[in-house]
Structure 1
């Protein structure tokens, strides 16, 4: 059960969350469920579902079925590191994870989570990914796990593209890329176009907005990728925010 799927406005949701408010945000808790059970998580670093182990549970299951020992994974928009931890476990000691995150508060939590869990196969990249390199304005919203590149942002962050990083030899070619960047998904893909054309990594994509969904699908399909929407509703329109997996045939 994903706690975040239970409405905060419902009586059940309010009762369920009431005792969670008593936990100090700086407290470190063992993760309860899933592949990360027993790993440590700082309560105030993100949603309660993280330390409960239920955060985006369906996406956890898809990653578990897809990743293999020894894989190289890019976690783009790593936030406080929940999926960085998960993928580091799934790819094993011979695998590698590169976690990209521009927000200083998230970077602090991300590095702390890797440290307190003795993770040695993950590398933190303090940057936002886009279609070009330079500096960008970053907009912070409520909660450290949210935010995105915006002309209205007040925080200046380093911006890079995957193609440039790979061409420079700074990072290896990945087997899988997970992207959750609050509406900037198309630009991350554009900045990785050469990589997608040549290496065809599997892509897990969190989409924020129907226009972004259409733009990303058009780009990926033009490169030969097949798109599968996860948890697609039966009939009716697709939700505004959704997750998809893009894979290259063969």
Structure 2
């Protein structure tokens, strides 16, 4: 619900018609239906005055039942600060279904053979759950960026617990320029803030372009979930995207602007990307919506 006001401002704005048509242009039918479903449900909630709305499909309800009765109970606490899921070990049970259940739709990509011989960038690595499930998809390195100190330490533990020799933790955020910013201390995510309160910390930001150039990386995949910082990150990654044309997995649900504008940012580079929009559904009408961009 916290995402809804920003989303509705875009829908109710004067440019909605053109933004909607731009968003669905070139998408497959399934992606267009996903976009339409998200928008129609947001409009239903706009007029919601209490009571109960039953707008989840039978398939979605089955997913919710699976997550509740099979996925979550599969996390076994072995001891304090140690959890097991399908043989994988985690220092916390805050593991996103996007990584463990959906695996960010990696298995559906057309570019897997290319990705398997190139590096992966995991921007917004959290505690390492995404990097863990992405690690079998490449013979090269995964660079897992997490700016928050607490989550970074958990990321390091996940790597150590599972012997992930190809995952390299990086205690930086990625953005439009090199800078230091305040972020909130949050076990679920690290978010940019203008306040320097007791629940914030200073994070170092670099650009993906600089990091790739300094380390001479050949990048096959960029996964981005950076709590509304996506467009800034992309501005600092234009050179890498133009030259290497990696597959992109981009979260577009943190704001209405992200939802409607990120696809156009990539299209305007005129690199021949093809797009899909999928939702890693876990009970929200907006959250975990993913823009998938491939040149294959």
TM-score, normalised with respect to structure 2: 0.65
- C-alpha separation in 1, matches of 2:260 and 2:141: 31
Which stretches in structure 1 are left out of the alignment for 5+ residues? 33-37
- C-alpha separation in 2, matches of 1:218 and 1:185: 13
Name the structure 1 match of 2:150: 105
Matched, 1:209 2:209: no
What's the offset of the Cα at 1:165? Answer: 1.6
Which stretches in structure 2 are left out of the alignment for 5+ residues? 1-58
Q: CA RMSD in A?
A: 3.4
What's the offset of the Cα at 1:191? Answer: 0.3
- C-alpha separation in 2, matches of 1:178 and 1:96: 14
Residues 207 and 233, structure 2, Cα contact 8 Å, conserved in 1: yes
Q: Classify 1:138/1:86 alpha carbon distance in 2 versus 1 (closer, same or farther; 3 Å).
A: same
Matched, 1:62 2:117: no
Deviation track 1:182-208 (CA, whole Å, cap 9, x = no partner) reads 111000100001111111111001122
Name the structure 2 match of 1:46: 94
TM-score, normalised with respect to structure 1: 0.76
Deviation track 1:47-92 (CA, whole Å, cap 9, x = no partner) reads 3758xx8443563533697364322100000000111112222213
Report the structure number with the largest CA radius of gyration.
Answer: 2
Matched, 1:184 2:229: yes
User: Which gives a bigger RCO, structure 1 or 2 (Cα 8 Å, sep 6+)?
Assistant: 2
- C-alpha separation in 2, matches of 1:243 and 1:100: 19
Residues 221 and 227, structure 1, Cα contact 8 Å, conserved in 2: no
Matched, 1:229 2:277: yes
Q: Is the helix fraction higher in 1 or 2?
A: 2
